[in-house]
Amino acid sequence: MNVIVKECNYNDILELRRDVMYPEKDLDYVKVENDQDQNGNTIHLGLYENDSDMKPISIVSLFLNREKNEIQFRKFATKVEYQNKGYGTKLLSYVINYAKVNSIKRIWCNARIEKSEFYIKNFNFNLTNQKYTKDGRDFIILERFL
């Protein structure tokens, strides 16, 4: 699988977030705090099948906390027709490598509980005891120290 990961257009991020994660909601619903941070602390990444693709097939947003030397990744989503084919795994592998290259000490996320095994099994994330429910969905914070 030959893919390209690069910074992604914000509107493409919003569309894919909504389409995959919250198809019943509007685009405003999938915006998160600091999505459009002007200080270089937010990076939106897309995975593309090739360099000429106009739209990503998998996306993730990285939120850097320079004081704590950590990255939170949020709104990690892959188009439904591309799921379970390794595209999301490629993108998250890129994110972990990005964190290592930039000497980040901790990477973490708010994972839907039913998806947490993906992060634990494939990427050595650890469960925390921090759980919560939002919009009827159960979440847990997962983390990995690098």
Amino acid 135: pLDDT = 84
**Closest by alpha carbon to 88, among 78, 79, 97?**
78
Amino acid 54: pLDDT = 84
**Closest by alpha carbon to 16, among 69, 107, 79?**
79
**Per-residue pLDDT band at 140 (split at 50, 70, 90):** very high
Place of tokens 């759980």: 131
Q: Where are the alpha helices (DSSP H) in 25-107?
A: 87-101
CA–CA distance, 35 with 96 (Å, rounded to integer): 20
| Region class of 77: left (phi > 0), else alpha (psi between -120 and 50), else beta | beta
**Could you report the per-residue pLDDT of 10-60, keeping only the tens digit for each?**
999 999 999 999 999 999 999 998 898 878 899 999 999 887 778 999 999
Amino acid 1: pLDDT = 73
Cα 95 versus chain centre, distance: 8
**Identity of the residue numbered 64:** L
**Closest by alpha carbon to 92, among 55, 131, 120?**
120
Cut 0.75: pTM above it: yes
Do 75 and 30 form a contact (C-beta atoms < 8 A)? yes
